[in-house]
Amino acid sequence: MDRLHRIRALNYKHLYYFWATAKAGGILRASQQLHVTPQTLSSQIKLLEDELGCALLRRVGRGLELTEAGLVAQDHADRIFSLGQSLQAALGQTQGAAAAITFRVGVADAVPKSIAYHLLEPALALDQAVRLLCREGKKTDLLGQLAVHQLDLVIADAAMDQRLSVKAFSHRLGSTAMACFAAPVLAQRLAGQPFPACLEGAPLLIQGMGSAMRQRLDLWLSEQALRPQVIGEFDDDALLKAFGAQGRGVFFSAAVLEQETCAQHGVRVLGHVEALQEELFAISVERQISHPCVAAITAQARQALMAAP
């Protein structure tokens, strides 16, 4: 009975103040956006915590962060206020504008950003407006957010590990061969030998150990009896390419986007390796895809971007 009383007593103004604070990243910034004093905002959030019977925010140094209960509350608030916007649209109170679909997607840091963009682009081409909320991070962290429905989809370079206690399903998007790139000055220096023999002793920029491609690349180099000089390891593909553009080392990236890579970073292709395949997966809690954005992504990836078997 006491729990039912708490549910009925929930004040949505208090919830909105908490939600705005979580989105703004702090009480001071949220108070400026809402045009209320920080003291008023703090007191309203405290009332919400009393109503729910748990702390939603905790102080860390000079700032605030969400507790586990706060993360759950934020996720529910996202849905509540998104539904409110949908209600306004359905009743014609948004000047005829259609309600946007909120699409929350996580991109594993090992996935090349250029490929991630092309994979997500079809979701923004739907007839209905889409609001894309994109997060980047470690695959395991993103899968945790997927499990509690904070994300609709995770794009990763490997299928979900079945040993993880996450009920989700991997949808293979396809694969692409890898190409080896180098800045013009470095490419000229390595031009004395054909590819891949030119990699012997060459400076190499390589993916971090958390990347599925790193394991394949290590194996391929061993099979070819090649011993390049590893200059740097990078979890972030964009940073790896930035170093490569400055001639710090050769690097491997998806061949399907080689023209874009060359134009954007001013590098040249040294050669292609069909034995090295960059695989991409869409991981969702749905076995049968129903979310329109996920359906658009998987259909376009399999038809155009990646060479699915």
Average pLDDT, the chain: 83
Q: In DSSP terms, which residues pair with 253 in a beta bridge?
A: 179
Helix, strand or coil, per DSSP, at residue 165? coil
Instruction: Round to whole Å and give the CA distance between 26 and 48.
Output: 16
Tokens of 298: 């998987």
Contact between 233 and 221 (Cβ < 8 Å): no
pLDDT in tens, 54-109: 998 888 877 778 888 888 888 888 777 766 655 555 555 444 445 677 888 999 88
Q: What is the pTM of this model?
A: 0.61
Instruction: Round to whole Å and give the CA distance between 107 and 146.
Output: 12
Q: What is the pLDDT of residue 11?
A: 76
Buried/exposed code over 133-159 (b: 16+ C-beta within 10 A; e: otherwise): eeebeebeebbbbbeeebbbbbbbbbe
Q: Who has greater pLDDT, 162 or 157?
A: 157
DSSP state of 167: -
Type of residue found at 232: G
Question: CA–CA distance from 41 to each of 222, 242, 295 (Å)?
Answer: 60, 43, 40
Q: What is the pLDDT of residue 223?
A: 95
Is pLDDT above 80 for 290?
no
Is pLDDT above 90 for 9?
no
Top-confidence range, 7-11, 265-269, 274-278: 265-269
- Exposure on the CB side of residue 177, measured as CA atoms within 13 A: 7
Concatenated DSSP letters of 113-144: HHHHHHHHGGGGGSSS-EEEEEEEE-HHHHHH
Tokens of 121: 């682009």
Question: CA–CA distance from 37 to each of 43, 45, 260, 303 (Å)?
Answer: 10, 13, 49, 53
Contact between 224 and 198 (Cβ < 8 Å): no
pLDDT-derived band at 24 (thresholds 50, 70, 90) equals confident
Helix, strand or coil, per DSSP, at residue 218? helix
Tokens of 303: 């038809």
Type of residue found at 294: V
Helix 12-24, helix 38-52: angle, nearest 10:
120
Instruction: Round to whole Å and give the CA distance between 139 and 179.
Output: 24
